[in-house]
Amino acid sequence: MSDSEENCIKVFDTAGKFIYKFGTKGERGEFSIPRCLSVNKAGHLMVSDLRNPRVKVFKRSRKLVAKFGTKGSDIGKFDRPMSTAVLSDGKIAVTDCGNNRIQIFA
């Protein structure tokens, strides 16, 4: 689960027992109000970062493998990305509440 107050991701087992957390507050590679989580077809965790306007992609090992998006209103840019979803064709939908839109990425 994302914890917006602690600016981290918390991991629990299937019984709901806390296992570990990762991430800290910051602008460069860290989180600033992480929001909704989803898992892509490769099994990577995607995290929308509200105040660092980007989506980060992590392996199960917590290693950052990709990130996309910057601040702005142009295509491919975000102003408060809220959530991500993986579509049936593997594309990624990102809700961008600051720009009042949903963007689709291949």
Q: What local confidence, expressed as pLDDT, does residue 81 receive?
A: 96
pLDDT in tens, 21-45: 999 998 777 899 999 899 999 999 9
Question: What are the residue ranges spanned by the domains of the chain?
Answer: 2-105
List, for the chain, all residue ranges whose pLDDT scores fall below the cut of 70: none
Of 43, 45, 41, 50, which is closest to residue 83 (Cα–Cα)?
50
pLDDT of residue 106: 87
Q: What is the pLDDT of residue 45?
A: 95
**What pTM was computed for the model?**
0.87
Residue 27 is predicted with a pLDDT of 77
- Tally Cβ neighbours within 10 Å of residue 71: 13
61 Cβ neighbours under 8 A, 6+ residues apart = none
Check residue 26 and give its pLDDT.
87
CATH code of the region 2-105: 2.120.10.30
Q: What is the pLDDT of residue 56?
A: 94
